[in-house]
Amino acid sequence: MLQKTNNRKNTDMIMQTFELVVLFIAALATGGLMVNWAGLARAMAQLSPSTYVELHQTTNRTFDPYMPVVVAGAIVGGVVSVSIFFESHVTKNRG
């Protein structure tokens, strides 16, 4: 019985850590997209065409390596979290 309690505590701790990591990644993705929308897009709309192109190319080099990874990580983490949530609730209701 004690073994079962310890396993449950370990599983809960792992899930809480996983949820925190998923939340952090989702926050990074949201922050990056909000910076792009709220700051860069509005600023770029007021630039001359040549300056716009130069700024756009510079921001693409900065954002492109990170945003796809962060957004994909947030999506995958969210899907896995929902799957685990439903799996645990279906198992709990059956047993």
Confidence category of residue 48, pLDDT binned at 50, 70, 90? very high
Whether residue 69 is contained in a domain is answered as: yes
Full DSSP string of 9-43: HHHHHHHHHHHHHHHHHHHHHHHHHHIIIIIIIHH
- Report if residue 59 sits inside a domain: yes
Indicate whether 15 belongs to any domain. no
pLDDT, tens digit, for every residue of 51-94? Answer: 999 988 888 888 888 888 888 988 998 898 888 888 877 766 66
5-44: pLDDT as tens digits: 777 788 888 888 888 999 999 998 888 888 888 888 888 8
| Residue 28 within any structural domain of the chain | no
- Does some domain include residue 35? no
How many structural domains does the chain have?
Answer: 1
Asked, for residue 86, whether it belongs to a domain, the answer is yes
Range of the domain at 90: 47-95
Number of Cβ within a 10 Å radius of residue 74: 19
80 assigned to some structural domain: yes
- Would you say residue 67 lies in a domain? yes
Helices H, strands E: what count in the chain? Answer: 4, 0
